[in-house]
């Protein structure tokens, strides 16, 4: 057997929007894991699959890149990985370069760059079904002959759409060979791309008719913005309307589990830890998983459909007036799910000042970790009734997101006024063809995000919940105590001490306690309140009540509104601040982000609380 027959490490490379990740999902399915490359915040996706002959392969999905002459951190990672220069990472044995059959004019140039690396390579011409529907004819044999590398067609969204690729990989694994043809250093890749297109591709039109028809409306300066507003509005309505049955089921299950454990264990510290600490804390967070996944599902669907780059183009002029660019839209939209990947996504912004401004305003986007807090407070203070065809609670949630967006644009505009660079930077990006999102890719994306969320619940949130239970439970109240035992605990003393500073905002000592662990992870704020109220209740009946009616009856409307506004602006979790530090490589920028967000949160909550009291909501 050939000594090289054990080659098993492959890497998928290609431009953004080429269908590379869909092909990765097609090959690996659920046999994949997500991590970060050592020393950087770039996502690393690795999976496994078996060839037709039973050989097992490790497959890497490298970050999308337009060129190996890196202009961003993502492209630098892809370049160094392909060349074998990335510390701690073995070089791939075979490169699988994925190109979009409907857009070879752009993607072939990158394939030529990859070929020049001299590594065994396969060119996967993806989306061939879409190309045929548009009347695009591609001579794969001619491409293979001229490029000197194997060329196969794939349809990543169809079952067995990658069979030809797997068979070709098996052949290369048995007999790996470098490309037979190379242009040499200094060659004109644009000229070579034009030559290949003329030789092997017949294209009746550069864009599909349906794309042109949709773009006439969706990129219209008026109707396009209205359509985008409607899409975002419907997303937030769906977050409430669709999630309620699943949330009710989780709530019932959590309540049953707590009652069952309490019935089995004798009353004491262990029972209190499990029921009031672990079950109440984690249950109070997991209940919001349906809402978070619905939000993620919409974001993934918009990304898969090809609509997000168009939204970026549509908003470029508006964002430029605030000191940002259209490229900032996708990182800021990603920040609605979590600010950490949103901040990481700013690596695609080449201008350093635009990138820094986007990083600093990304925490103002309402991340999914805030959603549990919003849902709790809206459920407690906003009646669940309909206004016309709309859900009133959904309208309030949409309003909170709108205020966050407006605040981010205002902050970016202020930063622009302080900057010395007053110039505008042209937006250059690819508008991919519209396509229907693939259900398998959506489900895999949702599964990954659910696991990330649950790992946070099972890791840092569980640890903080247990720690908070300890602080709330010890030291025990003296025998002659007249108030709740929690008043004598470590957490009670800390909360009462903080209450003086936050009293102008309407925050009681229970809220002050919840703010502290909430800095580690936003979701902990809800579980902290659940634990605080469970342990500070005057009797067992009160302790078993749901948190929503407890705060609805115990807080004023002014306090509820003040806390809602606080979470629009409050400094993000420690992980987000650490990401700002890593991405900017500056303690100064991280400190500035923390201070300005805290100042905005305090000032906005103070104004909200005092105005609400004046209007009779106190």
Q: What is the mean pLDDT of each run of 10 residues along the chain (618 residues)?
A: 58 89 86 62 80 88 86 81 85 92 88 90 91 88 91 88 90 78 72 90 75 86 88 75 80 84 83 76 71 79 82 79 76 75 71 83 84 81 74 81 88 79 58 81 82 66 70 75 70 84 89 74 69 56 55 82 89 74 82 92 93 80
Instruction: Domain 3-206: give its CATH architecture.
Output: 3-Layer(aba) Sandwich (3.40)
Contact partners, residue 62, CB within 8 Å, separation at least 6: 11, 12, 13, 77, 78, 81, 82
The pLDDT value given to residue 545: 47
The pLDDT value given to residue 383: 73
CA separation for the pair 523, 469 (Å, rounded):
16
DSSP state of 571: -
SS3 readout for 315-359: HHHHHHHCCCCHHHHHHHHHHHHCHHHHHHHHHHCCCHHHHHHHH
Angle of the 587-614 helix axis to the 352-361 helix axis, nearest 10: 40
CA separation for the pair 361, 378 (Å, rounded):
25
CA separation for the pair 513, 350 (Å, rounded):
41
CA angle centred on 477, ends 473 and 483, rounded to 5°: 105
The strand order across the sheet containing 151-153 reads 32-36, 43-50, 56-61, 9-14, 94-100, 121-126, 151-153
Contact between 510 and 529 (Cβ < 8 Å): yes
Q: What is the dihedral of CA 15, 20, 22, 28, to 10 degrees?
A: -160
The pLDDT value given to residue 173: 82
Contact between 295 and 235 (Cβ < 8 Å): yes
CA angle centred on 471, ends 465 and 473, rounded to 5°: 100
Q: Where are the domains of the chain?
A: 3-206
Contact partners, residue 300, CB within 8 Å, separation at least 6: 437, 441, 442, 445, 446
Whether the bond into 243 is cis, omega within 30 of 0: no
Cα 472 to Cα 264, 498, 529: the distances in Å are 23, 15, 11
Contact between 158 and 57 (Cβ < 8 Å): no
């Amino acid at each position: 057997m050939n000594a090289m027959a054990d080659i098993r490490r492959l890497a998928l490379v290609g431009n953004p929007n080429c269908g590379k990740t869909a092909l990765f999902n097609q090959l690996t399915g659920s046999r994949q894991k997500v991590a970060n490359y050592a020393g950087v915040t770039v996502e690393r996706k690795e999976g496994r699959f078996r060839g037709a002959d039973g050989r097992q392969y490790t497959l890497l999905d490298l970050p999308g890149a337009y060129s190996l002459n890196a202009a961003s951190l993502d492209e630098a990672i892809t370049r160094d990985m392909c060349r074998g220069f990335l510390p701690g990472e073995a070089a791939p044995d075979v490169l699988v370069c994925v190109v979009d059959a409907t857009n070879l004019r752009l993607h072939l140039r990158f394939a030529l760059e990859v070929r020049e690396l001299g590594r065994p390579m396969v060119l996967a011409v993806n989306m061939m079904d879409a190309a045929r529907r548009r009347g695009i004819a591609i001579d794969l044999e001619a491409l293979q002959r001229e490029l000197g590398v194997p060329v196969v067609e794939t349809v990543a969204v169809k079952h067995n759409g990658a069979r030809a690729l797997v068979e070709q990989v098996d052949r290369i694994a048995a007999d790996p060979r470098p490309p037979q043809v190379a242009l040499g250093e200094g060659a004109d890749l644009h000229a070579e791309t034009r030559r290949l297109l003329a030789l092997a591709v017949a294209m009746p039109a550069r864009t599909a008719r349906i794309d042109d028809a949709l773009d006439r409306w969706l990129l219209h300066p008026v109707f396009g913005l209205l359509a985008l507003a409607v899409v975002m509005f419907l997303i937030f309505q769906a977050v409430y309307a669709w999630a309620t049955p699943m949330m009710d089921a989780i709530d019932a299950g959590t309540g049953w589990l707590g009652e069952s454990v309490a019935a089995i264990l004798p009353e004491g510290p262990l029972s209190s830890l499990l029921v009031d600490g672990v079950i109440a804390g984690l249950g109070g967070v997991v209940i919001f998983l349906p809402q978070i996944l619905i939000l993620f599902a919409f974001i993934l669907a918009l990304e898969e459909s090809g609509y997000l780059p168009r939204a970026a183009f549509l908003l470029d002029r508006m964002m430029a007036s605030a000191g940002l660019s259209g490229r900032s839209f996708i990182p800021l939209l990603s920040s609605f799910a979590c600010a950490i990947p949103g901040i990481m996504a700013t690596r695609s912004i080449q201008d350093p000042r635009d990138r820094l401004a986007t990083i600093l305003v990304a925490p103002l986007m309402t991340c999914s970790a805030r959603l549990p807090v919003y849902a709790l407070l809206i459920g407690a203070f906003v009646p669940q009734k309909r206004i016309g065809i709309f859900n009133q609670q959904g309208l309030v949630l949409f309003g909170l997101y709108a205020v966050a967006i407006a605040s981010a644009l205002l902050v970016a505009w202020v930063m622009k006024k302080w900057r010395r660079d007053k110039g505008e930077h042209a937006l250059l990006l690819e508008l991919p063809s519209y396509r229907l999102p693939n259900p398998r890719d959506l489900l895999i994306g949702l599964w990954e995000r659910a696991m990330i969320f649950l790992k946070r619940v099972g890791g840092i949130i569980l640890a903080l919940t247990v720690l908070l239970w300890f602080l709330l439970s010890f030291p025990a109240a003296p025998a002659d105590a007249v108030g709740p035992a929690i008043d004598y605990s470590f957490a009670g003393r800390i909360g009462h001490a903080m209450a003086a500073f936050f009293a102008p905002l309407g925050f009681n000592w229970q809220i002050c306690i919840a703010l502290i662990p909430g800095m580690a992870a936003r979701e902990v704020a809800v579980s902290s309140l659940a634990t605080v109220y469970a342990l500070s209740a005057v009797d067992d009946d009160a302790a078993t009540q749901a948190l929503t009616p407890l705060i609805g009856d115990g807080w004023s409307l002014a306090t509820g509104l003040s806390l809602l506004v606080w979470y629009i602006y409050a400094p993000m979790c420690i992980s987000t601040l650490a990401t700002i530090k890593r991405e900017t490589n500056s303690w100064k920028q991280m400190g500035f982000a923390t201070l300005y967000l805290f100042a905005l949160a305090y000032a906005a909550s103070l104004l909200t609380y005092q105005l609400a009291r004046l209007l009779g909501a106190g």
